[in-house]
Amino acid sequence: MSSYIKRPNRALQLYAVIFLIVLYVPVLFIPLFSFNDSIYVRFPLQGFTVKWYGELWTREPVWNALWNSVKVGLVVSVISTVLGVMAARSITRTRIRGKGALVTFIMMPLVIPGIIFGVALLVLLSRMGVPLSLYTVGLGHLIICLPFAVATLLPRFEGFDPSIEEASADLGENGWWTFWRVTFPMVMPGIVASLLLTFTISFDEFIMAFFLTGTDPTLPMYIWGQLRFPKEFPSVLAMAALILFVSFALVFVAQWVGRKGLEDQE
Amino acid sequence: MKGTSEMASADRFISIRKVSKSFGAFQAIDDVSMDIRQGEFFSLLGASGCGKTTLLRMLAGFESTSKGEIFIDDQPMSDVPPHHRPVNMVFQSYAIFPHLNVRDNIAYGLRKQKLSAARRAEMVEDMLDLIKLPGYGNRKANELSGGQRQRIALARALILRPKVLLLDEPLGALDKQLREQMQLELRALQRQVGITFVFVTHDQEEALTLSDRIAVMAGGKVLQVDTPAGLYETPKTRDVASFIGNMNFFRGTVRRNGSAMAAIEAEGLGTIPMSTAELTKPDGAPVQIGLRPEKFSLSPTRPDTGLAIEGALRTASYMGERSQYYLSIPGKDEPVAVSSPNTHRLIGAQDAPEGQTLWLSWSPEAIVILETD
């Protein structure tokens, strides 16, 4: 009688709206209170202010922590994306036995609780006598980010016709030139998406950092440390609001770039 | 004797010697040997899975040979990777680089030639003229139709002046009208550039239309290599005969009386006198013979001359330029197919009713003696 794609249903629309509100309203309280002129997080709101953001500006340790997170995030996103490209290429372009098992092992960190990896790495590193530092945090983040990089890149490699690379070889280019003239430009949107996604994950990450941070805290570690001091709380909210905004922006850009790339290839 | 050795080399421009290829337990190519001449339009024809694409990919270097050797212009190819082979390929999917425009697609293979920008642009323009797409240089790959992509793929390969151009079912994705037009253009283009074309297709009509010679393949083996007319008129085996067009098959026995007279006694057809040159088998030997449906003539009464038998009409199908009839004849289980051109307009004419008796006549020269399996 009616087509398979049905017309919108009122009850379902209402459900969807409630779902989104429940999901995002708690998060929206953070930017809301970051503009509230009171150190206490409670209603009624006391008035609009940007002084918490101004205060944030003057604090040296906040900016150190931010810079630490950015450094770790950049290095981790580049390394995990390079490894992801290599993994996705081998998975899609070579005949390997046990390919399914290999992909499962690569994706496993997605489902293993971070606390287990965190404890395991801490035990291993301390046994080996490696001092905790931003490098050890980066190592932990790499484990978490690699499956995301592979998951982002794999569909790009699967999505294009292998005969396009064969055509390049046929037209006289070796593997190296074929990669840079054909493969790389074609998976570029996936690479950008992977860089943005892994950077965001590393930037926000707390559990690994909790176990593996030395004397230099990452931003989430620093914020966590500040929660003990009520006076500091509003500027933590301001910081959180900024991070929230940047994270959203990065994920949206990553999504947009990924989709645009797919459209270009029809 | 320089002349003769050059001739021999041109006849064996591509030489495939005892080549086999297996993927695990599957034998994709089974001891294939054949030679392809310089400048000819050569087709590999067969149903899907017969090994034709594998053989083409072996010529391109994308698949290795398990056994045997392929020579191109007297050079063994085993250790030559695809990017160093003097061949270029037009892929079934065309494999146009989606991130490059038409100009950069066509110029892709010119990087190593270190040409000036002006010379390169000139070569691309020449190619665009050759494929009849002048002014398309700045088009993006996703703005092209199937036929245009096919031409770009051709231009991209031909600009490198390969010794051999390999084409993997390049017309398969096009609709019927465009395909027929592209067949003509492809043939003309091949004559114009004079490059050896090796063309893979499963479409026998396409192979007959385009090729100088055709290799019919099945089950990884080459059944017969011949000209289109040779394959159609003198197929060697039943498999080739039924793959190229239609054929009626009859079992028969050789009858000889001394060395002067020879005949075949065939089921349903009676005794057919044959020339002793053509029929070399001894008296009493079983043979299999074939007769194409269009080699029969139908008439309501017994023709005055030639060999004729009586048959009962089973079905008649009007097909435009010709009609297809099936008749049952005494002494043979399967009905005989007869194809008859409609040389007169049939408006208002009644088709012969089912069961009507008609006379089939043929000439002994139309008989093809097939190898018995």
Tens of pLDDT, residue by residue over B150-191, are 999 999 999 999 999 999 999 887 888 888 888 998 999 999
Measure A258 CA to nearest chain B CA, in Å. 15
Pair type for strands B41-45 and B67-72: unpaired
- Per the structure, the complete domain to which residue A154 belongs is given by 61-264
Q: Which CATH architecture has domain B248-344+351-370?
A: Beta Barrel (2.40)
B171, two tokens? 């017309």
Tens of pLDDT, residue by residue over B254-289, are 888 777 778 888 888 888 888 877 777 888 888 999
Q: What is the pLDDT of residue A262?
A: 62
Using the predicted structure, report yes or no on whether residue B68 has a pLDDT greater than 80: yes
Q: Is residue A90 part of a domain?
A: yes
**How many cross-chain Cβ pairs, A to B, lie less than 8 Å apart?**
67
Determine, for residues A163 and B82 on separate chains, whether the beta-carbon distance falls below 8 Å. Answer: no
Q: Which residues contact residue A265 at a Cβ distance below 8 angstroms, ignoring those fewer than 6 apart?
A: A159, A160, A186, B98, B142
Residues linked to residue B291 through DSSP beta bridges, in sequence order: B248
Mean pLDDT confidence for A205-218: 89
Mean pLDDT confidence for A9-29: 89
B112, two tokens? 């190593």
Domain ranges of chain B: 13-243, 248-344+351-370
Mean pLDDT confidence for B128-141: 90
Q: What is the pLDDT of residue A263?
A: 63
Using the predicted structure, report yes or no on whether residue A254 has a pLDDT greater than 50: yes
Q: Is residue A151 part of a domain?
A: yes
Q: Is residue A75 part of a domain?
A: yes
Q: Is residue A53 part of a domain?
A: no
Instruction: Determine phi and psi for A40, rounding to 5 degrees.
Output: -100, 135
Residues linked to residue A248 through DSSP beta bridges, in sequence order: none
pLDDT bin (cut points 50, 70, 90) of residue A22 is very high
Q: Which residues contact residue A151 at a Cβ distance below 8 angstroms, ignoring those fewer than 6 apart?
A: A107, A110
Determine, for residues B93 and A161 on separate chains, whether the beta-carbon distance falls below 8 Å. Answer: yes
Do B362 and B289 form a contact (C-beta atoms < 8 A)? no
- Report the share of chain A in percent with pLDDT over 90: 33
Q: What is the pLDDT of residue B282?
A: 83
pLDDT bin (cut points 50, 70, 90) of residue A248 is confident
Q: Is residue A23 part of a domain?
A: no
Tens of pLDDT, residue by residue over A96-144, are 788 889 889 888 888 888 889 889 999 999 999 888 889 999 999 999 9
Reported ipTM: the value is 0.82
| Model pTM score | 0.80
Sort out which chain A residues have CB atoms less than 8 A from B143's CB and list them: none
Mean pLDDT confidence for A69-90: 94
Q: Name the average pLDDT for chain A.
A: 86
pLDDT bin (cut points 50, 70, 90) of residue A232 is confident
Question: Structural domain tally of chain A?
Answer: 1
CA distance A90 to A71: 29
Q: Is residue A31 part of a domain?
A: no
Domain B13-243, CATH:
3.40.50.300
Q: What is the pLDDT of residue A261?
A: 64
Minimal-distance CA residue of chain A relative to B90: A167
Do B294 and B245 form a contact (C-beta atoms < 8 A)? no
Any chain A CB within 8 A of the CB of B114? no
